[in-house]
Amino acid sequence: MGNPLKKTMVFLGLAEEDLAAEAAEQAAPVQRPAAAEAAPAKAAPRPTVAPLRRVTPVRHQPAQPMSEILTVHPTEYKDARAIAESFREGVPVILNLSRMGESEAKRLIDFASGLTLGLHGRIERVTSKVFLLTPEHIEVGSDEPTREETGSFFVSPNA
């Protein structure tokens, strides 16, 4: 069973393993070309291994004193661009979704969650419609005891 596709299908249970063909394949001698036998044995060069994916370096913002906080009252999803540009520059963003419909607000929160995850920041719910996006170099203090993160942003905190 030298075919990788066949091996994968057998592993996933999409095909039956053909034991008879595999035994015949292993029993058959490997034939070498005559030129290979006549040549003296040399150490074969080691093949280079290419990575499966290109590693992209993460751009870290140097820790700067915080001099600005952006407060945004978006009315449409297209306002996400201004939020992302400010957050990428290391500016904390207060996101007040009280002027948006629920479906667009959910889309914007999903976007903001991905943005903060991608840039190693944090997103915290302040009230039911207000969220704080903080870059990785900003620490946020709270007088509430820390609780385990569970559930969705859209579930009421008292539920």
For residue range 106-128, list pLDDT tens digits in order. Answer: 999 999 999 999 989 999 999 98
Residue 59's nearest CA partner among 89, 93, 91 is: 89
Higher pLDDT, 61 or 46: 46
Report the pLDDT value the prediction gives residue 96, as an integer from 0 to 100: 94
Confidence class for position 150, pLDDT limits 50, 70, 90:
low
Token pair for 33: 């070309």
Residue 77's nearest CA partner among 39, 114, 103, 52 is: 103
Report the pLDDT value the prediction gives residue 43, as an integer from 0 to 100: 64
State the first-to-last Cα distance of the chain, in angstroms, to the nearest integer.
Answer: 55
Predicted TM-score of the model (pTM): 0.51
For 13-51, how does the pLDDT look when each residue is reduced to its tens digit (9 = 90+)?
777 777 656 666 666 665 655 555 555 556 666 667 666
Report the pLDDT value the prediction gives residue 92, as an integer from 0 to 100: 92
Burial-class residue 142 by CB neighbours within 10 Å (0-12, 13-18, 19+): exposed
State the sign of the Cα–Cα–Cα–Cα dihedral 45, 51, 54, 60. Answer: negative
Residues 6+ apart with CB under 8 A from 74: 80, 83, 95, 97, 99, 100, 108
Over range 120-147, report the average pLDDT.
Answer: 82
